[in-house]
Amino acid sequence: MTIKLNNSWLEYLKLECEKTYFKEIKSFLKKEIKSWKTIYPHPKNIFNALNTTSFNDIKVVILGQDPYHQPNQAHWLSFSVQELVKLPPSLKNIYKEIESDLKIKKNFNNWNLSSWAKSGVLLLNAILTVEASKPASHSKIWWNRFTDKIIKIISKEKTWVVFLLWWNFAKQKEDLIDNKKHYILKSPHPSPFSAYSWFFWSKHFSKTNKILEKDWKEKINW
């Protein structure tokens, strides 16, 4: 499995990709693929969250858990799905909150979030792969170590990034972030099981844009 990272990330992650634990990740995935198991996203897209959002452009980080695990859903961006796929409930609730918060109308037929990623929103899953129909099936293969390193690098090397931590798993990453250099906004998960526990009405999208404006950065077109 070839690791392809754009130069802005390669500068910080090249040595990480040479460590033993990372080689174990690659070995595991190769064996799974040779065993005819279906892995999402496609191996060539595993690192595209990083390749879509340059390290230099990061203004916001939204952390997910792992990719969607049903056919045609899987995307390399957290919470995002590709076109012509049924809108996932969590993303539907994200759109509802955007409408309520920003008083705008969202297109519920377009739920590919690549435009966010290209605008500086890193949509990073903590676990970068999953076996088809088996959520969290790759949670034990060191992905968390790799993505924790990414969060630490962002915290150390950048300033005034807005981290949106929307659920308990994401909130566990708070200790990786220097809150003297960055902004952290927390809420429950946008899932139907927890959205009414204060993901709705959290106003994270307007708050994020106000922070960016204060720091003389361009707002996100949510």
Tens digits of residue pLDDT in 82-119: 877 888 899 999 999 999 999 999 988 878 999 999 99
**Nearest-angstrom CA–CA distance, 43 and 2:** 9
Q: Are 128 and 63 in contact (CB under 8 A)?
A: no
The predicted pLDDT at position 5 comes to: 87
**Nearest-angstrom CA–CA distance, 9 and 154:** 10
Q: What is the CB neighbour count within 10 angstroms for residue 133?
A: 11
In a domain, 1, yes or no: no
Q: Which of 57, 66, 101, 178 is catalytic?
A: 66
What's the total number of domains in the chain? 1
Mean pLDDT of 193-219: 94
In a domain, 2, yes or no: no
| pLDDT band with cut points at 50, 70 and 90 for residue 66 | confident
In a domain, 166, yes or no: yes
In a domain, 92, yes or no: yes
Told to judge if 175 belongs to the known catalytic residues of this protein, a careful annotator would answer no
Residue 1 has pLDDT above 70, yes or no: no
Which is higher by pLDDT, 17 or 71?
17
Range of the domain at 59: 7-214
- Note the pLDDT tens digit of each residue in 115-162: 999 999 999 999 999 999 998 899 999 999 999 999 999 999 999 999
In a domain, 86, yes or no: yes
- Cα angle vertex 189, ends 52, 100, to 5°? 85
| pLDDT band with cut points at 50, 70 and 90 for residue 71 | confident
- Note the pLDDT tens digit of each residue in 169-179: 788 899 999 99
CATH code at position 33? 3.40.470.10
As given in the structure block, the two tokens for residue 163 are: 């981290």
The predicted pLDDT at position 85 comes to: 82
- Note the pLDDT tens digit of each residue in 21-37: 999 999 999 999 999 99
In a domain, 221, yes or no: no
In a domain, 219, yes or no: no
Lowest-confidence range among 33-42, 161-170, 207-216?
161-170
User: Which residue from 75, 93, 50, 110 is spatially nearest to 204, judged by alpha carbons?
Assistant: 93
